Amino acid sequence: MSEQDRLWQVIGGTGRGVLATVKRDGRPQLSNVDYLAADGVIRFSSTADRAKVRNLRRDPRASFYVTTSGGGVYAVAEGVAELSATAADPHDAAVGELVELYREIRGEHPDWDEYRAAMVADGRVVVRIHVDRLYGWLG
């Protein structure tokens, strides 16, 4: 197995990681997010008014850090982020992707109509980081 494959194993399919974006003053802004990773893309949801989303609109470069529970092994994925449209209608494409993301990360929701309405009310977006560099420490 290649080192890249092993680093993707650290990231796994779902989990919690740390997103690093670039603030206006050039310093990093860090956010914990629950994510889904597949086919070289890391996806998670956020509200459109969050600092991380404002930062990515201004500068789409992102780094994403995942570690094991003991912290002895980690992976960093770097790439350019793409943002979905903001959820505007319970049945638009943005909400459809948010439903898919929720299902993959958490499973079934007890009330999908309520969930869809909340995504619109929250002004949610899906952030997609297209990974072009992967590095880390495998121990």
**CATH code at position 101:** 2.30.110.10
* Interatomic CA distance for residues 18 and 107, integer angstroms: 22
- Residues, the chain: 139
Q: What is the pLDDT of residues 126-136, one digit of tens each?
A: 999 999 999 99
CA distances from 132 to 4, 69, 89, 95, 108 (A): 11, 25, 32, 27, 31
Q: What is the pLDDT of residue 99?
A: 98
Cα–chain center distance at 76: 13
DSSP assignment letter at 29? E
What rounded mean pLDDT belongs to the chain? 97
Which residue bears the tokens 């194993």?
Answer: 9
Q: What does the alpha-carbon distance between residue 88 and residue 94 come to, in Å, rounded to a whole number?
A: 8
Per-residue pLDDT tens over the stretch 21-77: 999 999 999 999 999 999 999 999 999 999 999 999 999 999 999 999 889 999 999
* Residue 123 in this model has a pLDDT that exceeds 90: yes
Is residue 75 within 8 Å of residue 66, measured between CB atoms?
A: yes
Burial zone of 75 (CB within 10 Å; 0-12 exposed, 13-18 middle, 19+ buried): buried
Number of domains, the chain: 1
Q: Find the domain containing 106 and state its range.
A: 3-137
30 to each of 50, 55, 64, 86, 127, how far by Cα in Å? 12, 11, 9, 22, 15
